[in-house]
Amino acid sequence: MNTMLSENAERRPSVLDNLQKQLDEAVLDMQLYGKALDVFEDDPATRGILHDHLLRTMGTPIVDKILFGLDKDNKLKNGMEFEDSEEQHVQLSTTERTFLAKDLPGQLSSKAQALVEALEGKRFDSFMDALRDTAEESGLLFKKLDERLEPLMLHSHRK
């Protein structure tokens, strides 16, 4: 038992580091695309469709990665066995996301549940707020798109 706990303690930082790297790239891309939603401010119908599309195509994988990563970290912290598998690449259903969110400890669980609800709510701004809250509660950094980084990202997307 002590061997498993020490192995889990050694694996936890790499789990969170990996999750942080995945979150950084995905969130910055999503913020960049979110800025483009402002162009459609005068057309509510198109704007609503784009909010829905952005959350479905980019928000869903982000939420799934966060929930898988936090679930794995929680299991490692509690000394439970956890298999490294490729199921992280499978898209979860709303029910599965809710189950994983409820399984997290304390305040993190309520923030993760709010994130799942925001994903289903189809509003980009509320989703980003819930994502920021969940990331901060879990100890992950939430990078904001700044004026220096935006032109670099636009340039790389053009290529």
Alpha carbon distance, N-terminus to C-terminus of the chain? 51
Q: What is the CA radius of gyration of the chain?
A: 17
CB 51 within 8 A of CB 74: no
Residue 152 has pLDDT above 70, yes or no: no
Locate 79 and state its tokens. Answer: 């000394």
CB 27 within 8 A of CB 59: no
The mean pLDDT value for 79-102 works out to 77
Residue % of the chain over a pLDDT of 70 = 80
Report pLDDT digits (tens) over 39-52.
Answer: 888 888 888 898 89
Average pLDDT, the chain: 83
Q: Which residue has the tokens 């198109």?
A: 46
Residue 132 has pLDDT above 50, yes or no: yes
- Which pTM does this prediction carry? 0.83
Q: Which residue has the tokens 């340039």?
A: 155
Give burial (CB, 10 Å; 0-12/13-18/19+) of 82. middle
DSSP helix/strand/coil, 122: coil
